[in-house]
Amino acid sequence: MGRSLAFAPDSGRLWAICTECGEWNLAPIEDRWDAVAECDRIFEETRERGSTGELTLARREGFDLLRVGTQAELPTLRYGARLRRRHAQYMRRKRAAKLMTAFALVGVVVGFALGYAALIGIGFVLVITLLASGVLKSPPVARVPTPDGGWTDMTRRELLDMRLVPTEPHGWQLRIRRKQTLEGPDAFEAARLTLPLLTRSATPKEDLRKALAYIGKKGGTAVSVFHAAARRRGVNRTARVSKLEVHIRLALEMLASREVEERAVADDLAHLQTAWRHAEELAAIQDDVTFDLSVWGRLRREG
């Protein structure tokens, strides 16, 4: 984890930002408010700052503090740097793949020119046979939840064939395999884990701008946008996620991450509420016992 923190005083949220991957990791709610107050105090004492209007960066002894004024620029901030790194990595891999393809074609041409056509043909047949027999299987690229509470691995082929299924009136499901469909929290979690693998070509400016516009156009909520994307190929047809426009995939990734994060916050609040009620009950019992003892002691002294 890197030496960067982002905090939003209005909402009381605190994130640790990884300098390697750009991921924002939300702090547990029970540890958040005091830390946000401390961040705000340190922020006010720091003179070295830079601001974009809604966002202000303070740098102190090699440690970065980012204060978020409103939630409006938060998606741009969270995904801008991440998309820049992701897109640069995508372009490097694309160039490497083209180079390897060129070398392979040269090798085939040279092989034929030298009279090794039979050997090359045998090699192709061997590879096809191994693929057909399942010896050369596609390795898993993602691990997603299952309806029974477990986890399952997805291969690249399954990832590319993953589909959105519209449900009426305004719902959606995620089909990860032909006979395995996820919905609700499991679907959002699976989308959060898999969609980054399908948005590597997204550009940090144009596609991010289009993604935010698409979210606003389709209602702004995770369910409404996923439902709209699921119906993109027709009312009674599924939508293959990998075939959607890259800015739509990016919009879905952003909303899935937000949904999972907000659900985690809600779970934290529910847990804290339960703990608070338990503490209140214990406090009430303790107060009653203390009161009874004090009354009993007074009566004993007066008697």
Each domain of the chain, given as residue ranges in start order, spans: 4-72, 76-133, 140-260
In this predicted structure, the answer to whether residue 151 has a pLDDT above a threshold of 90 is yes
- Torsion angle defined by CA atoms of residues 74, 77, 80 and 83, in that order, rounded to the nearest 10 degrees: -70
CA–CA gap between residue 265 and residue 218 (Å, rounded): 25
What per-residue confidence (pLDDT) applies to 153?
94
What per-residue confidence (pLDDT) applies to 47?
60
Higher pLDDT, 150 or 98: 150
Please name the residues in contact with 68: beta carbons below 8 A apart, sequence gap of 6 or more. 6, 7, 8, 13, 54, 55, 74, 77
Is the full-model pTM beyond 0.85? no
Q: Mind giving me the DSSP string for 79-147?
A: HHHHHHHHHHHHHHHHHHHHHHHHHHHHHHHHHHHTT-HHHHHHHHHHHHHHHHHTSSPPPEEEEEE-T
As given in the structure block, the two tokens for residue 183 are 């919905």
Tallying the residues shown for the chain, one arrives at: 303
Report pLDDT digits (tens) over 224-263.
Answer: 999 999 988 766 688 999 999 999 999 999 899 888 877 8
